[in-house]
Amino acid sequence: MNPQHSLNYDYSPWTFWDSASETERAAQDAYHKDFAERGGIDIGDRAFLSPLANIDPETLTVGADTFIAAHAYVTGTITLGDDCTVNAFSVVRGKITAGNGVRIGAHTSILGFNHSMEPSKPVFKQPLTSKGITIGDDVWIGSNVVILDGVSVGSHAVLAAGAVVTKDVPEWAIVGGNPARRIRDRRDAVIRATTDEAPFDDGMLAELAAFANAARADAPAILSTSWVPEAGGLYVDRPGAAPTVRAHCDAIEIADLLLGSVPPQLSQDEHVARLRKLQDPVTGLVPEFGSETNGVSTLAFGSGPATYHVLSVGYALDLAGSGFEHPIHAIADMNPAALVASLNALPWTKEAWESGAWVDAWGTAAYWNLAQSHPNSPGALEALFGWLQTRVNVAAGTWGTPTVDNRLKVVNGYYRLTRGTFAQFGVPVPHVERLVDTVLAHSAEPRYFASGRQNACNVLDVAHPLWLASKQTSHRQEDAKAWARTQLKQALVRWRTGEGMAFSAARESGHQALPTLQGTEMWLAIIWYLADLLGCAEALGYRPRGVHRPEPAYLLPTL
């Protein structure tokens, strides 16, 4: 027997039965029989157990064509289905049940047990607990993954290399990061494979992963620097600025994206309580700090920070597992006639952005009312979409007429309008190919998109419409990708260690060129959208879930 040849089987056991000699096969069969004599052992046909693995179970079931490679550590109550592979140096311990076709990458730890940690005695003297881990069929577990006790992994899931899996993984989900979070549905890859997408290079994947790792490492310091502990603690957009409601919401968004938790300065219940108590029960709106109503509501929907707080506070509460305490009466009480009158009165010609922002906030307020089972005025939401569908500029795919002088406001207003309506409610946008032409014409404007001239609003307000349109059409797809690739490359190098990202890349833009919570939160989302346009967002290991979430928040019945 060639020792080197035999050793290859220990590290690549799937090659054994197709190429091993009769002597080697007989030796493996004898090894299985010796194991089975211990009791509680069931080894299927054409399985391979490396003699270099430490396999010391209480009970072990190994299905047909299942392999355990060298230096794996397998102990506890273990069930592996057919066609599974436990690669070299993996740890499978505790109560573990895996289905058929499971691949476990090298150096992975699947830990179906835990220590108690009562303070009365040292940890090493604590009793063990075990809920067990269940893994479905057709699951790919990458190298260096850690799966903790009590987790269930659904069939067809993919656990990206290095993921730390602390919660259940749905079927078909791709998850990654620490703690692991959903990146996308694995079936999306099938859709992508039929669109003849240009492949992305490994260098871009490495740049994205490095950016995300740096951002995660810096997130605690960024949140801490923005926390002012005086007066019970408030968040500021940047050191030296005044506390704002949006800063608190941006802190929650950043922590959710990068840490998978609420900011550590407060408990989850404390974050929720602070934001919920800000809501004015009369209008349902949230004023800025220092403008509390003291029982007499002077808030008006459509003007001031309270309008954007419909988005920022609503989604911050949602990320923290809660929602508004009161209905947003300011729009719930608006009947279809009053809504249409308000839409007609908006300054669509001169201020398309302001008009789009109004629609964004109205649609989002209607969503929060629906999500909290608070009724909106009957027919109002249908009236909104009816008005939008009949007032869209057919030639441009926008609301308002884009010209060289006002294209910025029209495109930026388009993003705000569609974010809170078509995207948020899962309704296809109209005249999508004309929209792509309009947005790409705007994206070539060097005043806003040349290197060092970008700001977060302008880039987001192109990236999101192009991304949204890509779900309906492949029109000028390569032009959109070329723009996204250029903007992504430039954005990735703007992260400032320990500080985050500035809203603006233009040095002469004053405080907007300084790192802030707002800039950091927005650019994290922008980078995800740019990367997803290129088909490589999974390398980031995060996915927006708040204001900039890509999935619809609420699917409307057919309008």
Known catalytic residues are 115
3-state SS assignment for residue 515: strand
3-state SS assignment for residue 189: helix
Residue matched to tokens 């190098």: 493
Residue matched to tokens 């398309």: 352
Cα separation, 275 vs 368, in Å, equals: 15
Cα separation, 100 vs 343, in Å, equals: 57
> What's the distance, CA 240 to chain centroid?
31
Contact 410, 400 (CB under 8 A): yes
CA torsion, points 423, 428, 433, 438, in degrees to nearest 10?
Answer: -30
What is the DSSP secondary structure assignment for residue 354, as one 8-state letter?
H
End-to-end CA distance of the chain: 73
Cα separation, 485 vs 473, in Å, equals: 19
The closest of 346, 348, 368, 353 to 425, measured between CA atoms, is 368
Cβ-proximal residues to 195 (8 Å cutoff; 6+ apart), any chain: 474, 477
The closest of 188, 156, 195 to 172, measured between CA atoms, is 156
B/e letters for 321-337, b = 16+ CB within 10 Å, e = fewer, are ebbbebbbbbbbebebe
3-state SS assignment for residue 472: coil
